[in-house]
């Protein structure tokens, strides 16, 4: 039996993701940019996210970030990163000022359900790595065929 789920409201993001998915099935993966900066501007921090068999991994470069200034949460299928990058010094004369500082907030929609209680994050040498284990329902499940 086919069950039809009727949704009265489709969030725009979901619609866009669906469009991307359909497009991808025609033209394949988008090109991997060789440049450090993406072609289109992104939020801060820039993220790399990839999928492994049992987890999603997210990495961001946050040099100089202190873990106590970083707040990470997973809510309603979204990963929320927020925090504050401290400025080097406010009293000096800057000859160059290229490093990022200030408050940031970034929200990313997660493509699969994750086990929110098992999410882990580490901040080492200025690199934040978040491991989001997939929820049991989102894991590939092998069905053993028994011969009668």
Partner 1 sequence: MTMNQTIEADGADAAPVEPTRGGNYFRPPVDILEQTNELIVLADMPGVTADGVDVHFEDGVLTISGRIAPQSTVERKYLLNEYGVGDFYRSFQVSDQVDPAQITAEMTGGVLKLRLPKAAAARPRKIVVQAK
Residues that bind partner 1 (CB under 8 A): 29, 32-38, 42, 46-52, 56, 58, 61-66, 88-89, 92-100, 108, 111, 123, 125-127
In angstroms, rounded to a whole number, what is the distance separating the alpha carbons of residues 81 and 106?
A: 5
CB of 78 to partner 1, least distance (A): 14
Instruction: State the Cα–Cα distance between residues 108 and 126, nearest whole angstrom.
Output: 20
Q: Which is nearer to partner 1, 61 or 113 (CB)?
A: 61
Half-sphere exposure of 145 (CA within 13 A, CB side): 1
**Based on CB atoms, which residue is closest to partner 1, 46 or 115?**
46
CB of residue 99 to partner 1, shortest distance in Å: 5
Minimum Å gap between C-beta 29 and partner 1 is 8
Residue nearer to partner 1 on the CB measure, 15 or 88: 88
CA dist 100 and 68 (Å) reads 18
Exposed e or buried b per residue across 90-110, where buried means at least 16 C-beta atoms within 10 angstroms of its C-beta: eeeeeeeeeeeeeebebeeeb
* In the complex, minimum distance from the CB of residue 43 to partner 1, in angstroms, rounded to a whole number: 9
């Amino acid at each position: 039996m086919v069950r039809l789920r009727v949704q009265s409201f489709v969030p725009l993001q979901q619609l866009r993701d669906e469009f991307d998915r359909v497009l991808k099935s025609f033209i394949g993966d988008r090109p991997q940019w060789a440049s450090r900066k993406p072609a289109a501007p992104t939020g801060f921090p820039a993220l790399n996210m990839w999928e492994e068999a049992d987890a999603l991994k997210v990495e961001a470069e946050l040099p100089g970030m202190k873990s106590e200034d970083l707040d990470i949460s997973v809510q309603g299928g979204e990963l929320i990163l927020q925090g504050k990058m401290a400025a080097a010094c406010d009293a000096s004369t800057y000859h160059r000022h290229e490093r990022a500082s200030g408050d940031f907030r970034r929200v990313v929609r997660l493509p699969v359900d994750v086990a929110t209680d098992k999410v882990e994050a580490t901040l080492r040498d200025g690199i934040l790595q978040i491991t989001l284990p997939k929820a049991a329902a989102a894991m590939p499940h092998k069905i053993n065929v028994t011969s009668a």
